[in-house]
Amino acid sequence: MKKLFLFPILILCLLFGAHAQEDAEIIEIRKGFWVQSAMNYQKDNGGYWDIPGRPEKIEQGSNIQVYDIDEGKDRLFYLKTTEEMGVYQIVPGDKNNSIMLTVAEGEENKKKNGANIETYRMIGRDWQKFRFKHLGNGEFKIYTLDDMVVCLDGRKNANGTNVHIWEDHDGDWMTWYLIDPDTKEAWIPENQPQEPVFFTENNLTYRQTNHSLKFEGSVTNVDFNDNLVKITVEGRETGRNPGTGQMIDKETTKVKEIYFQNGIYYMTTYDMAGGKFIEQTKPHTDDNNVKYMHVGRGRFTVE
């Protein structure tokens, strides 16, 4: 198999529209993070996002504050992908929670200095979506889609200090670190794998079944550039065309695409109702120690 690898230029010009590309870091969604203020990072155990009262069940209407860290599940925050690459909903406590962070009072306050960040049920509006600008070494600014920054009230970091939005400024009260609760280390994009080795270092087969139509083949070329992985598969397509009803049995070549950044594979996909969303995927190993990865409706398998 021929493999062409070009070092990725970390520019997302082709992936994002109105938002500045540098404000849209790709971040893992399956792992819950503690979120700590840069005012406290590597100094003490304070400045972590917190829901007051350490609730077992997280309800809507609670303001986010900062407090010394503990092991409560309300200290964990998960990212959930949206229809736009690099834009996330932030879900507290449980990645399957229907409660998420929002700018309080939504439309009315979405560009108001001092508007609280609070919990609210998922309604899919822009004031429940955020993007992360990486400043280096794991330090992030967290923006709303209206370019307001999630920050600390009054430039303070004492226990109980409120988390709200403000116009963009520079300062430690404006920035955050995503802390892995297991390692207690910050999640740093540049420390993550930068090459899609599942594709570039393995011989792969591919199989896709779409209703009555099946395609099977082998990967013959991999091209990685500007975060986009293009995988050429040469194989045979057989079965009945679901559109025309015509039987098919032919050799063909298909090119599959997936994005890769910060050790994360991701793609645009659609649900049964036609709704668009960004899906993250990763390699797995089955009970027979066979490595594979699903990409859309297809599956790549290591030979």
Based on the fold, state whether residues 217 and 267 are members of the same structural domain.
Answer: yes
Rounded to the nearest 10°, the torsion over CA 43, 187, 145, 50 is -50
pLDDT at residue number 16: 37
Based on the fold, state whether residues 244 and 140 are members of the same structural domain.
Answer: no
Based on the fold, state whether residues 181 and 204 are members of the same structural domain.
Answer: no
Structure tokens at 155: 């430039």
Q: Is residue 18 part of a domain?
A: no
Q: Is residue 103 part of a domain?
A: yes
Q: Is residue 4 part of a domain?
A: no
In sequence order, the 6+-apart residues with CB closer than 8 A to the CB of 29 are 78, 79, 80, 81, 88, 95, 280
Based on the fold, state whether residues 102 and 209 are members of the same structural domain.
Answer: no
Based on the fold, state whether residues 37 and 86 are members of the same structural domain.
Answer: yes
**Rounded CA gap, 283 and 201, in Å?**
13
Predicted confidence pLDDT, tens digits, the chain (303 residues): 544 544 333 333 333 344 444 568 999 998 999 999 999 999 999 999 999 998 888 999 999 999 999 999 999 999 999 999 999 999 999 999 999 999 999 999 999 999 999 999 999 999 999 999 999 999 999 999 999 999 999 999 999 999 999 999 999 999 999 999 999 999 999 999 999 999 999 999 999 998 889 999 999 999 999 999 999 999 999 999 888 889 999 999 999 999 999 999 999 988 778 788 899 999 999 999 999 999 988 999 999
Q: Is residue 88 part of a domain?
A: yes
Sign of CA dihedral 11, 13, 14, 16: positive
Q: Is residue 23 part of a domain?
A: no
**Domain residues for 98?**
29-186
Query: How many residues make up the chain in this entry?
Result: 303
Q: What is the CATH number of the domain that holds 64?
A: 2.80.10.50
Based on the fold, state whether residues 176 and 198 are members of the same structural domain.
Answer: no
Among candidate residues 127, 159, 186, the one where a domain is terminated: 186
pLDDT at residue number 293: 97
Domain count across the chain:
2
Among candidate residues 160, 186, 212, the one where a domain is terminated: 186
Among candidate residues 117, 152, 186, the one where a domain is terminated: 186
Based on the fold, state whether residues 96 and 122 are members of the same structural domain.
Answer: yes
